Chain A
Amino acid sequence: MSLTLTVDGERWRRHLRSVADADPGLVPVVKGNGYGFGITRLAQTATWLGVDTIAVGTYHELSAVEQAFAGDLMVLGPWRPTGPVAPESLAPGRVIHTVSRLADLLALLDRQPDARIVLERLTSMRRHGMSAEELRAAGRLLDQRPARLEGVAFHLPLAHGAHLTEVEHLVNDVVAAELPTRTLWISHLTPPELARLRASYADYDVRPRVGTALWLGDPGALRVTATVLDVHEVERGDVFGYRGRTVPKAGHILVVSGGTSHGIGLEAPIGDHSFKARAAAVARGGLDAAGFVRSPFTVDGKPRLFAEPPHMQVSMLFLPHGPRVPAVGEEVAVRVRHTATTFDRVDIS
């Protein structure tokens, strides 16, 4: 009676192993909803993979992984003097802080002179990070204040295959800043880009941070299903639902598990910019999941319509006469965005 993520464990682990083996510097990203798996489980899996470092998104997430993974814990969100800190249960030496402003670097070193630090360089994404000039100033500062600098981080936008020029500029800035480090932490480079970067900077240690391409990189190993909880035959004009709608034609109302609390109907918009793609996102059950729009639930391989906006834990679908009507207790497939879905159960074989 639940929204379930079923994982072909052998296939999934084979994929994880192949990614990790291909890249000994890999840093698995374990954040947010844990890509649907949960961050504690991913931290355990990272232990199984044998990596030395994992990355979480925020300081709040540290407590969920500190027991499950014994290595270094990098926090991707920048450290701020006013923000949350690592839990006291955690040995200070295990945390690697990301610092994105010169003022923060000073404040952190004042508070914890032996803090482990990664400096973030601002990329074309313009989210967090230092300019080339700030990075140089940081280099001068670190001449005076011997800190544990663990590298420089770049968080690149998702433009596959087009990053190398930008990365070369950014690495040149790192060289120019004379920082006492030879490690680069980079996200979102394609394998060929990564190989070329490593070739041009053989004197640097490149550590790719990988989330989606690792955990969700083999979609065939993952299956999401919802349980059919109830089936009601309806005639045209019948009233149903929270909002007292009427049925437009004869068919069946299907009640399935999976509602807004799971993230159904609340998917993050996908990054495709075309109008068609945006329209499709809405149709799949975006925030405007009102009226008879396409739902992410499929019956016999065909997407079905929402009868009304999803409820908190269940959704009501409309099935016109014609197709096979699934029985109560049967599982139907659901297409979800894993980073925005909370599953009731994760079954890994």
Chain B
Amino acid sequence: MTPTVRPISADEHRAFIAGRSSASFLQTPAWAAVKSEWRAESLGWYDEGRLVGAGLVLYRQLPRVKRFLAYLPEGPVLDWAVDLGAWLAPMTTHLRSQGAFGVRMGPPVVTRRWSAAQVKEGIADEGVARLGEIAPLERSAAGARVIQQLEALGWRPQVSEGGFAAGQPQYTFVIPLVDDAGARRTDDDVLAGMNQLWRRNIRKADKAGVVVTQGRAEDLKAFHDLYAHTAERDHFTPRPLSYFETMYDALGAEDPDRITLWLAHHESDLVAATIAVRVGTHAWYSYGASSTAKREVRGSNAVQWAMIRDAMAQGAEVYDLRGITDTLDPDDPHVGLIQFKVGTGGEAVESVGEWDLPLNRVLYRGFELYLARRGG
């Protein structure tokens, strides 16, 4: 089968994604509105008149030149168990015609999985510094075949760290909400998978009278105040309120259940707030904030548990806590975040990561140098 690629409307794109079990929210047409500083385009793969794949392309301009890096974050949405040469060639031809000097994409294909218990043991084991040094639960042949084909087709794996096109994480932590046979897990089962600290904290929040509710657009200001406070405390650069307003409106307009604001109050104080996103059967914990005061009432645990239960009630099969680093070194500052996520039970998942295809060697090389200078 040799598909063709052509631009599609946002409606066609939306309908295609709605007809699939799930796709990354970074591949929804609504995401284009969030990333409004870049030109976006929806692409469709057609086979004998039938739409069989879709991708959201963000065109990121190279400084001073009217040429672009075509970026498909966590996409495109394809059946990846195909002859990738035939599927990717018409895409790159199209992107080149649009002025792309290179393509970056992140095939949403799993390569390895590890259990929470394995990750925990890895952190405890002095001889293990990285996730990859633990024998995985599963090593995916499908993932290996995607890597094999991309290498053969001249794509280059990216080690993504900040910069011009801050990469999507290659390692994520997820809680499967269905068992291996595909049957829905119960609340009790998911709770039993969590570590003792998580269970105790959820109970503690309940006893302390923490109330978790879903917010509305007008509550974004309260979320953002708490988020800015968290950013100051945890030393990261906060995004402006307008970013979340755009995201909330754009994703909400696509599907009323796509984005949810969650608020955890203790008495009249907002102690934690989060943003959840869901596309089909995949639910994400996207942004979170927590107060420095009243940590003992465990608002963060309460709001996570509410989100997990809601995801299950909405028919989600995966609750995705998003990126982790692959470090298991207990002295690494990132390890605390991993430990927080690992406490929920679930699995660490590695995907094939992001890959680049240079279309214009000279400009691509210049782009790499530009990135290196920014990085340094």
Contacts and interface: CB of A to CB of B under 8 A. Distances in A.
Nearest to A172: B144
B219 interface: no
Nearest to A178: B141
Contacts of A177: 141
A88 interface: no
B136 interface: yes
Contact of A132 (B136, B143, B148): B148
Contact of B147 (A172, A199, A202, A203): A172
Nearest to A171: B144
Given A169-B151, A173-B144, A202 B139 contact: no
A144 interface: no
B144 A199 contact: no
Given A169-B151, A172-B144, A199 B132 contact: yes
Contacts of B134: 202
A178 B139 CA distance: 10
A177 B143 CA distance: 11
A203 B144 contact: no
A175 interface: yes
Majority-rule SS of A interface residues: helix
A61 B141 CA distance: 37
B141 A176 contact: yes
Contact of B132 (A136, A172, A175, A200): A200
Interface in B115-156: 132-136, 139-141, 143-145, 147-148, 151
A272 B140 CA distance: 41
Contacts of B133: 199-200, 202
Contacts of B141: 175-178
A121 to B, nearest CB: 12
Nearest to B132: A200
Given A169-B151, A172-B148, A176-B144, A203 B132 contact: no
B340 to A, nearest CB: 25
Interface in B283-341: none
B145 A203 contact: no
A5 to B, nearest CB: 41
Interface residues of A, number: 13
A110 B36 CA distance: 63
A176 B132 contact: no
Interface string B50-93: 00000000000000000000000000000000000000000000
B247 to A, nearest CB: 37
A136 B151 CA distance: 16
Interface string A278-308: 0000000000000000000000000000000
A200 B132 CA distance: 6
A203 B148 contact: no
Contact of A203 (B135, B140, B143): B135
A203 B136 CA distance: 7
A137 to B, nearest CB: 13
Contacts of A136: 145
Contacts of B136: 203
A132 B144 CA distance: 11
A199 B129 CA distance: 10
A175 B151 contact: no
A347 B345 CA distance: 63
A202 B134 CA distance: 6
A203 B135 CA distance: 5
B135 A173 contact: no
B349 to A, nearest CB: 16
A169 B147 CA distance: 9
Contacts of B140: 175
Interface string A116-135: 00000000000000001000
Contacts of A173: 144, 148
Contacts of B143: 175
A247 B61 CA distance: 82
A324 to B, nearest CB: 57
B135 A175 contact: no
A200 B136 CA distance: 10
A202 B127 CA distance: 13
Interface in B27-68: none
Contacts of A200: 132-133
Given A173-B144, A175-B144, A176-B145, A203 B139 contact: yes
B135 A202 contact: yes
A178 B135 CA distance: 17
Contacts of A202: 133-135
Interface string A198-209: 011011000000
Contacts of B144: 172-173, 175-176
- Max chain A CB contacts within 10 Å: which of B132, B136, B144? B144
A129 B124 CA distance: 41
Contacts of B145: 136, 176
B293 to A, nearest CB: 44
Contacts of A178: 141
18 contacts: A136-B145, A169-B151, A172-B144, A172-B147, A172-B148, A173-B144, A173-B148, A175-B139, A175-B140, A175-B141, A175-B143, A176-B144, A176-B145, A177-B141, A178-B141, A199-B132, A199-B133, A202-B135
Given A175-B140, A176-B144, A200-B133, 5 more contacts: A172-B144, A175-B143, A176-B141, A178-B141, A199-B132
Interface of A: 132, 136, 169, 172-173, 175-178, 199-200, 202-203
* Closest A-B pairs by Cβ, 4 of them: A175-B144, A176-B144, A202-B135, A203-B135
